[in-house]
Amino acid sequence: DTEVTQTPKHLVMGMTNKKSLKCEQHMGHRAMYWYKQKAKKPPELMFVYSYEKLSINESVPSRFSPECPNSSLLNLHLHALQPEDSALYLCASSQDSWTGGLNEQFFGPGTRLTVL
């Protein structure tokens, strides 16, 4: 099973709302990632969790708050977003490069977020 699932598929929120994006994988991967993708642009790395610890935060504003409750789950909590945060948010997982082995990333289908 090489599936990464994400919920919801679509989300519309106001600038004062609080919402969460969820991501799940059951491949036994120990690294999980959040990416943001604007229209006609490549995905940009936001956060990396390795063994449930935040290992990379690419200078993302604090209105985005990641959480990794266990090795299979990854959340992205959203609060006080701006319209320019509207984008496709992609989750991915991989074995973990620190092990020195195969570190192929697998992506979920994404959550299309619109901030009004």
Partner 1 sequence: GIQVEQSPPDLILQEGANSTLRCNFSDSVNNLQWFHQNPWGQLINLFYIPSGTKQNGRLSATTVATERYSLLYISSSQTTDSGVYFCAVEDYGQNFVFGPGTRLSVLP
Residues forming the site for partner 1 (CB under 8 A): 2, 31, 33, 37, 41-45, 48, 50, 55-56, 88, 90, 97-98, 102-107, 109-110, 112
CB of 80 to partner 1, least distance (A): 25
Q: Kindly tell me which of 78 and 87 has the beta carbon lying closer to partner 1.
A: 87
Shortest spacing between CB 47 and partner 1, in angstroms: 11
Check if the beta carbon of residue 45 is closer than 8 Å to that of residue 87: no
Comparing CB distances to partner 1, the nearer of 83 and 101 is 101
The contacts of residue 17 (CB under 8 Å, 6+ apart) are 78, 79, 81
- DSSP helix/strand/coil, 63: coil
- Tokens 């290992």, residue? 55
